[in-house]
Structure 1
Amino acid sequence: MSFLSPDQHTAFDRDGFLLVPGLIPDDIAAKAEAAIWEKLRADPSDPSTWEDKPVGSGHDSPEVCAIFTKEMAQLVAELCGEAQPDWQPPRSAFAINIFPQPGPWVHHGPHIDHALERDSFVVFPRPMRLASLLYLTDSKRDGAPTVVWPGSHKKIEALAKSDPERFKRMFMLNNVLGELDLGEGIQVEGKRGDVLFYHYLCAHSGSHNTRNYPRFAIAHKW
């Protein structure tokens, strides 16, 4: 059984990312969002309770972990072009909570994941199969959407292969992204329940939230 259309496969191969709408049922996404609010000890209807809340927060509640389904794991395997391995849902999840911020909308600049020097991840073989952001609130334009650079995974991979010794590790590659013409980044607008998947070498960035409601998303590496 295929979870994706040929056009979706083509788009992922070409762009290095794919937004899959409605992958998390709305009732499950709503319960996960509520669990995050509860742990943060904040009221979604009272902005005065949002101050000084952490950008990142770990969660191990059943409500949050329920967003990871077997079907989602099978879709990941399909995107990676491999058989579905034995899979168990994660017992914890990491949320990225972007509350409203003053000032104009900006992004933080392109980067690739797993690129901290202290971690020393290698570029080949890949340190992860696929990366994803699972949206628990809407991700609207200028409201802390993820910014991606279409096709950047191919340019970055070509750079890595051009000098395997120089670019042996992810942090080495990340440090020279400015040498590449990645083109223009685009804001990925999604809704609660949508999931953004992206190639491990896809350049992307977080951004400011200039809207009036937080953006909650679970960051997960497969």
Structure 2
Amino acid sequence: MTHLADDQVEAFITDGFVRIDNTFPAELAAEARTILWRDMELDPADSAGWTRPVVRLGHYAQAPFRVAANTPPLHAAFDRLVGPGGWQPPAALGTFVVRFPSPEPPGDDGWHVDASFGADNPDFMEWRLNVASRGRALLMLFLFSDIDELDAPTRLRVGSHIDIARRLAPAGDEGLSLRDLAEDDFAGSAKRPEALATGKAGTVYLCHPFLVHAGQPNRNGQPRFLAQPPLLPTLPMALERQDGSHVPVETAIRRAIGRD
């Protein structure tokens, strides 16, 4: 697969995400997991050492990660959703979230959106988003292990990007903080149906930057490996274009706030 079909693009606009299978080979995912196991100083064959429910790892720029993030199907999808020249090729992948089977609560499984600016504030709840999604073109979920319903798949509130766009619109360029958005359960998006980001290693979910999502505990017997990097823009989003040539990530916002 080298491009997104029209119905997939429309699903991205209305649902807030699109799933792309087989974007990178399972063998590449296995190479990457070997590096991650080494950095965690854990043994994949010895579950006695898996004492924490979740381990977060930073950005990885080694070859398996760079290649996985820059395959032709992904570049074609970035062009279709964000526009040619509108995104920066990922130089690394991160943050990695590894979820282990554990009776302990993970402590990081609440609903949220990912902020895109204001990260210089030491209080992360004051990090911000605005209606033009300053600093972020997409949220991406890279599956580096097979993930089914019991393997702690990321939960997605289908269509919640619409609620967030409407909440952000009156705040203009300054936007709102995560604390502001959390006060009304992320624009009342709890009414939205949920989907699970399941799939084989090599699957990637390309999500609208306003999509509300959440982690969950791992209820299976094997660790789950997931990277959740942003796709960074080269230019700010334009919600008003004279020629009307809005890309899908902009169209989703425009429809939500009644401009399209």
Question: Could you tell me the TM-score, scaled by structure 1's length?
Answer: 0.85
Alpha-carbon distance between aligned partners in 2 of 1:91 and 1:20, rounded to the nearest angstrom:
19
Q: Indicate yes or no: 2:87 matched with 1:79.
A: no
Alpha-carbon distance between aligned partners in 1 of 2:176 and 2:166, rounded to the nearest angstrom:
14
Q: Residue 176 of structure 1 aligns to which amino acid in structure 2?
A: D
Alpha-carbon distance between aligned partners in 2 of 1:41 and 1:114, rounded to the nearest angstrom:
30
2:70 maps to 69
Alpha-carbon distance between aligned partners in 1 of 2:196 and 2:160, rounded to the nearest angstrom:
15
Q: Residue 213 of structure 1 aligns to which amino acid in structure 2?
A: Q
C-alpha distance 105-140 of structure 1, shift in aligned 2 (>3 A): farther
Please give the root-mean-square deviation of Cα atoms over the aligned residues, in Å.
2.8
Q: Indicate yes or no: 2:20 matched with 1:20.
A: yes
Structure 1 gap ranges (5+): none
Superposed CA offset, 1:110-134 (max 9, x none): 2111173343x34132130001011
CA contact (8 A) 2:51 2:102 kept: no
1:117 maps to 125
Question: Could you tell me the TM-score, scaled by structure 2's length?
Answer: 0.74
1:7 maps to 7
Alpha-carbon distance between aligned partners in 2 of 1:8 and 1:179, rounded to the nearest angstrom:
25
Structure 2 gap ranges (5+): 117-123, 232-260
Alpha-carbon distance between aligned partners in 2 of 1:179 and 1:86, rounded to the nearest angstrom:
28
Equivalenced residue count is 219
C-alpha distance 198-87 of structure 1, shift in aligned 2 (>3 A): closer
Q: Indicate yes or no: 2:204 matched with 1:204.
A: no
* Higher mean displacement: 56-65 or 202-211: 56-65
CA contact (8 A) 2:23 2:68 kept: no
Instruction: Give me the identity figure in percent.
Output: 23
Q: Residue 44 of structure 1 aligns to which amino acid in structure 2?
A: P
C-alpha distance 34-20 of structure 1, shift in aligned 2 (>3 A): same
Q: Indicate yes or no: 2:158 matched with 1:150.
A: yes
Instruction: Indicate the structure with greater helix content.
Output: 2
